Amino acid sequence: MADKVFDVVIVGSGASGGTMAAWLARSGADVALVEGGPRINTRTDFNTHGMPFHFENRHIPVMKPGKQGFDSERSRGVGGKSLTWNAVAWRFSQRDFKGQTFEGAGEDWPLDYKDLEPYYNRIETEVGVCGNRDGLEDLPDGNSLPPVPMKCSDLIVRRGAAKLGVKVIHVRKSTLSRPVGSRPSCHFCGNCMAGCDVVAKYNSADVHIYPAMRTGKLTLFHDSVVREVSVNSENRATGVKFLNRLTQQEGEVRGRIVAVAAACVQSIALLLMSRSSRYPNGLANSSGMLGKAFIPHFTNGVQCFLTDLVGKPPSNDEGFLDHAYVPSFMHSRKRAYARSFGIQFNYQNRRSTGWTRMIPGIGADFKKAVADRYPAFLTFQPYGEMLPGKSHVDLDWNRKDAYGLPAARRNMIWGDNDWKLFRDMTAWSLRILDSAGAEILSVGEEPRTNHELGGARMGSDARTSVVDHTCRTHDVPNLYVCDGSVFPSASEKNPTHTIMALAARTADEIATRLRKGEV
Amino acid sequence: MPRRRETLKIMGAVGSTCAFPFQADELYGQHEHAPGAAPAPKLPTAPSFFTAAEFETITRLADLIIPRTNTPGALDAGVPAYVDYVVSRNKALQQVMRDGLAWLDQRAQGPFVKLPQPRQLALLRPLDRMKDKPRSGDTGLRFFQAAKGLIADGYYTSREGLLTGLGYQGNTVMAEFPTCLHEH
């Protein structure tokens, strides 16, 4: 195997790496997929149907006992974060891609909605996305399976929001509301983020990688922690070096093209680690932009009780976590900041009862107060778009992991626009909840990050960006980076669907180059 | 609230946030991040951290805060053993609990458990301020917040508390998610 040169070596097997691997293998390319974690059997290895009282510390671990190995911090495991994601799947709109043009804020993507539209279409058909067609300017409709009905509590929020002229729509998720192929539809057990045991929820391992391996064109190197992308004296990537996760033994996979898709921060870290005399500050970093313009979403959490449901009998409303969504509505309103936010809500899992301790009372009164509020508990979480500023990712060479690799550090520096947006999205959350009738339990005071994006941004100018519009690095002609790290601006929408469309487009580009013999 | 313009935050080496950062979602027991190795919900009745006298007080507190009513109480759900389990694995909580239990007996001018129930409740009620931030000398408040937190965690994640006390109905297989028939 060591002598073999693959057409493409992909690092990372999540939504991006998995999609790319399958698309390339189907195109006839000889693909190696290198993943740091183990193979996981989604049908038997997850604690999907666990209850807190099955465990002494009342924490439901992702993996079943004896099935250790999934590193949930780095999401190492074949399938990556797609194993435990919540599967929300929005298309970005032209406004999301062109913040600079529309508002003079953020960075324009060097591509248009029209460039990604065919890939959104094909990904939706391929993986199955449920949702409604809402006809919103800011949220292009897709090829959807029927939406899942809203929960009773969603309708209460929708009524309150409507009084303020704010829309509440059906969520769109890469979770099946109807069977597709051999995958059954969702059974609404409500523990999506512990790993779906029937693959009603998309994960890249079961939907993309394992089927593609049956073509004989995809070779999986699991438990292989990549520590370096190798580049030769002709400035060409030649493959990757890895350490076996269990034995620490060195290994190497060679390829004519290398694509890094290890998830935003891990991809940045890998390139920063891949130093050489030509690239002393990290591979493909002649611009100095690698790690810069880090723009994860920021969120705020509100916990509350809907007064209409206090004292009502509990129902089985776990569903598939959130069924509804408040799409961005600030673009059309006067405001003191650029960009916008959307609100995810009602995704609480009723197995989580950490809030009960906050309820006042001792004795029978306490029990009643908790039981009355239990069916009414609701989480509300706006997601804001962060503008590229000083936040960045770097390496801490003094902190090494078990493989001797330096730790990636996320340095968050909130800008003026970020704070204004953060305060306004908190205020709007409270306004909507007040209009719906809610008793507020807690409001977060500081932004928290989620959905890591940016740090290897896409652009047409090689001096200010890391990759071009095909996700090819400006510096190394056969090296690609394709995941959230390439986003020049973040939108307020959950990014994975766009990452998958981008991965499919990049796979098409690579396949074309291979076919034309350009590599 | 942090300073407005530039707040530098180093978020550490690995793992950003979990997908949904809740404010008060994490249980004390989950602060021990070891994987819950074996599903062994049967906890021993003899405490491993608390002394017999301390454990008696914990047991009394659990019964006061979550008594048996028309649904099971904290003692039916084995909550004192859960409290002992979590505290035995959490150094910071050990200090808070030990100091607090001593403080409680001091306030009771003798063993807290020997007080008549109305006096026990009178001593605890002023401490029931779960959202207040305890100041450095606030041994009583700090203790009560931890104790009530542990007792609520233990009860509402137990089979008795979650299924019977709260009426949890999820974790089932549904062919379709039902449409809400209420008028909204």
Q: Is B137 on the interface with A (CB under 8 A)?
A: no
Split at pLDDT 50, 70, 90, the class of A362 is: very high
Q: What is the pLDDT of residues B96-112, one digit of tens each?
A: 999 999 999 999 999 99
Q: What does the pLDDT read at residue B36?
A: 42
Question: Hey, where are the domains in chain A?
Answer: 5-43+70-515
> Which of B39, B64, B182 minimises the CB distance to A54?
B39
- Rounded Cα distance between A428 and A448, Å, is 17
Cross-chain residue pair A57–B29, CB shorter than 8 Å: yes
Q: How far apart are the first and last CA of chain B?
A: 37
What DSSP element (H or E) covers A240? Answer: strand A237-244
**Best interface-test mutation with B: which of A55, A57, A67, A365 has the largest number of B CBs within 10 A?**
A57
Q: What does the pLDDT read at residue A366?
A: 98
Section A213-224 average pLDDT: 97
**Could you tell me which chain A residue has the CA closest to the CA of B29?**
A57
Distance (Å) from the C-alpha of residue B120 to the closest C-alpha of chain A? Answer: 11
Q: What is the pLDDT of residues A295-311, one digit of tens each?
A: 999 998 899 999 999 99
CA dihedral over B87, B88, B93, B95, signed as positive or negative? positive
CB of A194 closer than 8 Å to CB of A185: no
> Which of A191, A415, A449 minimises the CB distance to B171?
A191
Query: Which has the higher per-residue pLDDT, B38 or A84?
Result: A84
- Rounded Cα distance between A425 and A414, Å, is 15
Quick count: other Cβ atoms within 10 Å of Cβ A167? 15
Work out the angle at residue A427's Cα, subtended by the Cα atoms of residues A426 and A431, and round it to the nearest 5 degrees: 120
Quick count: other Cβ atoms within 10 Å of Cβ A487? 30
Q: Which of A289, A379, A338 lies closest to A492, judged by CA?
A: A338
Q: What is the pTM of this model?
A: 0.93
CA distances from A388 to A354, A497, B127 (A): 35, 21, 46
Cross-chain residue pair B64–A189, CB shorter than 8 Å: no
Q: What is the pLDDT of residues B11-42, one digit of tens each?
A: 333 333 344 444 445 677 766 544 444 444 55
Contacts of B133 in chain A (CB under 8 A): none
Q: What does the pLDDT read at residue B13?
A: 33
Question: Hey, where are the domains in chain B?
Answer: 50-165
**Could you tell me which chain A residue has the CA closest to the CA of B182?**
A152
> Which of B6, B65, B86 minimises the CB distance to A362?
B65
Which single residue is written with the structure tokens 């671990």?
Answer: A61
Contacts of A371 in chain B (CB under 8 A): 71, 165-167
Could you tell me the two tokens for B164? Answer: 């019977």
Here the ipTM equals 0.90
Could you tell me the two tokens for A454? Answer: 């940016």
Q: Is B174 on the interface with A (CB under 8 A)?
A: yes
Q: Which of A320, A456, A301 lies closest to A380, judged by CA?
A: A301
- Rounded Cα distance between B45 and B80, Å, is 8
Separation of CA A272 from chain center:
22
**Could you tell me which chain B residue has the CA closest to the CA of A198?**
B173
Cross-chain residue pair A314–B16, CB shorter than 8 Å: no
Burial class (CB in 10 A: 0-12, 13-18, 19+), A213: middle
Q: pLDDT at residue A143 above 70? A: yes
Cross-chain residue pair A53–B9, CB shorter than 8 Å: no
Q: Is B180 on the interface with A (CB under 8 A)?
A: yes
Cross-chain residue pair A301–B20, CB shorter than 8 Å: yes
Number of CB pairs, chain A paired with chain B, less than 8 A apart: 264
- State whether CATH 3.50.50.60 applies to domain A5-43+70-515: yes
Q: What does the pLDDT read at residue A34?
A: 98
Please report the DSSP string for A286-322 in residue order.
TTS-TT-SB--EEE--EEEEEGGGTTSPP----TTS-
Q: Which residues have a Cβ under 8 Å from the Cβ of A135 and sit 6 or more positions away?
A: A141
Q: pLDDT at residue A219 above 90? A: yes
Section B67-89 average pLDDT: 96
Name the average pLDDT for chain A. Answer: 95
**Could you tell me which chain A residue has the CA closest to the CA of B10?**
A411
